[in-house]
Amino acid sequence: MEMNKTRWCRATLLLLLSLALRGAAYLQERKNYIVHLRPREGADGGSVEEWHRSFLPQAAARLDSTADGGGDDGPRIIYSYTDVFTGFAARLTDEEAEALRATDGCARLYPEVFLPLATTRSPGFLGLHLGNEGFWSGSGFGRGVVIGILDTGILPSHPSFGDDGLQPPPKGWKGTCEFKNIAGGGCNNKIIGARAFGSAAVNSTAPPVDDAGHGTHTASTAAGNFVENANVRGNADGTASGMAPHAHLSIYKVCTRSRCSIMDIIAGLDAAVKDGVDVLSFSIGAYSGTQFNYDPIAIAAFKAMERGIFVSCAAGNAGPDPGTVGNGAPWMLTVAAGTMDRAIRTNVKLGNGEEFHGESLFQPRNNSAADPLPLVYPGADGFDASRDCSVLRGAEVTGKVVLCESRGLSGRIEAGQTVAAYGGVGMIVMNKAAEGYTTFADAHVLPASHVSYEAGAKIMAYLNSTANGTASIDFKGTIIGSYPSPAVTFFSSRGPSKASPGILKPDITGPGMNILAAWAPSDSHTEFSDGGADLSFFVESGTSMSTPHLSGIAALLKSLHPDWTPAAIKSAIMTTSDAVDRTGLPIKDEQYRHATFYAMGAGYVNPALAFDPGLVYDLHADDYIPYLCGLGLGDDGVTEIAHRPITCGGVKAITEAELNYPSLVVNLLSQPITVNRTVTNVGKASSVYTAVVDMPKDVSVTVQPPMLRFTELKEKQSFTVTVRWAGQPNVAGAEGNLKWVSDDYIVRSPLVIPPKGEQQ
């Protein structure tokens, strides 16, 4: 009897253990997916949520519809997308995912991926002033327009988000506010909506609050209200404001720190469109090179564009390599990053008398590196030390200025912390060759200077010429008028777009280097606070910073021209942009070479001209269908993007060059190519424009007709552009401009012939 009981207990334990292990394995096998469905035929099948549940296994669907939301593992359906995406996000096992893929009506499954997060001077640098002249005040500073920010949330108590002078939310606004227990802040007439999604909404009494700083920075850049005496430790001092300081903000927290789940991003886009935003600002990395029907963000943005919402996206920070640009769909504005004419200047002086300019946000009054000190380069001394100063074991740096190699986009402050920990009293960060002249104003923890590659090479040459090299670092504060400006930064992602190389991307360049804007408490910046007090403003760089500049400018244009389509606003921004710097010379890249259109897009944004562009190249949602069919995506692929059934056999497909875009990319081989364009008159009713072509002499361009006459506003005129080689084809390609010139306007479109190796 005792033996039988023992056997029974052992068998029971083994069974329970087996069930537990199988249950644990079952839970572990569940993964997050976005389920993309084909457009629903008819609306008789119940609610959208019920339709989505019908694709789950029966047991899971029953659990998901119960009050407990799906059992111990939570609901199987995480989001039901209703506005910008046909489908839902769900937790599925591998077997369930495979079964769902084979289900009629399922187009595609996307496994969950995480995307990275991609001022006082910029308004003035862009020609926006507080006086009555110009269009800033004339536009009402963006009054009445709602900008949706998809990012890490917002610090609502920051003075940049006060609502002095702002009107209540517009009629028909449907957004909600999730702030709870916020001391000194919450929703008001500036922040009219705030929501958090996914892990950003878990275990928090106030989910949309920014704990990373990034979202607060981008929101204030787009639409921060006026704040006087904004600075960081006395640097970059002035009146801070966003591009559209009287626009409303709606916040969608889809990121935590630097992690942004694609499921949460689509949920945020879905909510923003449903709420009724006018502009979407998206400073998040993208699927680079993925064709558009495999890119959930491009698919969602198409629906937003169709609803009349302007979508502004970061080009990415993967430059300067070609073909790295992301967010390349033509219905989105893709923004590159450029510099301004402000530097937070340092001066490095060597023992041989040579001096070099650099930058640093840390400008100490008690400067331990003011007098000449021994200069050392740890990477060359044979110890266990790295050239970028990430490791200094065995290197003798105590009491010295340490020369460190740049780590690229990050790591400079950490290098200074390492140098200081080993007794160094100063640091010079020198660029690698690919980084050229792009220098960051960082919040260093010791006297430091970030210098160009050219300066670094000369400092290295000096060190190699002497056994007793010395250096000192002097601090000059904020300098206005640095040259050349603007220039494209090294990190700004470059074209051509791999998804659609026949569309010029990026579209435009905006201020993205050393941008001062509002800040929220952040663990990553506590080393630069005063006794634990957090800074109200901070300086950051990236296409994350250039994107909200363009979002705010789009809001100004939307306020001035509420009837303009997103394509018309984009055209106005692109065709009025600057291809030359403040001295009238072509805009330069990080090497101070002539920047190509693949680096800067059409040029550097000039909002003071964009409000009255004369002519625009307009597009509506249906106009993209022939282009998408021409890309060879097939009926199913175009259907997925358009959110409705499309049969390309019934559509006259066009090439990328034939899309009515404000720029032209012509894959020119030996035969001439002719493309069509249509412009809409939004300037003066009675006006005459003449075609002016600026191209290298080995390229022949013919425009027919060469003159356009308009007699009324909103009148449309079409023309053809024929491009041919005047001699032998140039394998290096060519760049130039097509301009329509009247007495009052210059409407400029880039014209690009790609190098032979990049032609498709």
Task: Give catalytic residue positions.
Answer: 151, 214, 544
Confirm if 755 and 733 have CB atoms less than 8 A apart.
yes
Spatial separation of the C-alpha atoms in residues 649 and 672, rounded to whole Å? 27
CA dihedral angle for residue 642, residue 644, residue 648, residue 653, rounded to 10 degrees: -30
- Residue 419 DSSP label: H
Spatial separation of the C-alpha atoms in residues 331 and 310, rounded to whole Å? 9
Spatial separation of the C-alpha atoms in residues 753 and 731, rounded to whole Å? 10
Confirm if 654 and 627 have CB atoms less than 8 A apart.
yes
**Token output for 521:** 């408490």
Q: How far is CA 92 from CA 16, 75, 99, 105, 416, in A?
A: 24, 11, 10, 17, 46
DSSP string computed for 4-67: HHHHHHHHHHHHHHHHHHHHHHHHHH-EEEEEEEPPPS-S-S--HHHHHHTTS-HHHHHHHTST
Please state whether beta strands 87-92 and 77-81 pair in parallel, antiparallel, or not at all (unpaired): antiparallel
Confirm if 153 and 521 have CB atoms less than 8 A apart.
no
Contacts of 73 (CB under 8 A, 6+ apart): 27, 30, 91
Helix axes 543-560, 566-575, angle to 10 degrees: 110
Say how many CA atoms lie within 13 Å of 268 toward its Cβ. 33
Residue type, 335: V
Spatial separation of the C-alpha atoms in residues 466 and 481, rounded to whole Å? 35
